[in-house]
Structure 1
Amino acid sequence: MKTKHLVYASFIFVAIVSFSCSNNTIDADAKRLGDLTCKAMQLMKKVPSGDESVLAESQKLSQEAEALKNELEAKYTSDSDKTKLAEAIAKAISDCK
């Protein structure tokens, strides 16, 4: 149960970060965050299996998300950049497989 909550918290954290933060750079950053979100979504699928590695993966993902959040918050301060980033992230997440 604790693992499940940690995975959900990680996913929610990544999603919140994605909506709070030159086009090529924005697209690249959005792809990085989109990839993290996709990993979180894939990790959530493993929770019901009881796979013990899920907790370690979840912790690693949380650390990556925290580092990326700090980087993006410092990098994108204007409202227009945050809007562009949010749109690019939505597109990147829609490409999850």
Structure 2
Amino acid sequence: MLRYNGQSPWNVQVRATTKRAEANNVLGRLRARGYDAFLTESMVRGQMWYRVRVGNLANQKQAEALQRKLQASGYPDAFVANGNELTAANKQNR
């Protein structure tokens, strides 16, 4: 389900939850506001986690700008994430 294209790994994680319905709710709200939001799944210690992320950005600086915008618009826990790290974590946890 990971939507990383191999060219622009930077994005911002907005929410992580073990509840798919909650993740889909956040995903829908972000998309309704015009954000390029997507969902990833990752098995962590036998538990499926759903991560809501925004953006497919070229560099960390762009991701940090998006992080600030998301934090100011109601997602205070948003943080910059790197798709390369997520891809490696998914491979390790399978």
On whether the aligned pair clears a TM of 0.5, the verdict is no
Higher-Rg structure is: 1
TM-score, length-scaled by structure 2: 0.28
TM-score, length-scaled by structure 1: 0.28
Bigger share in helix:
1
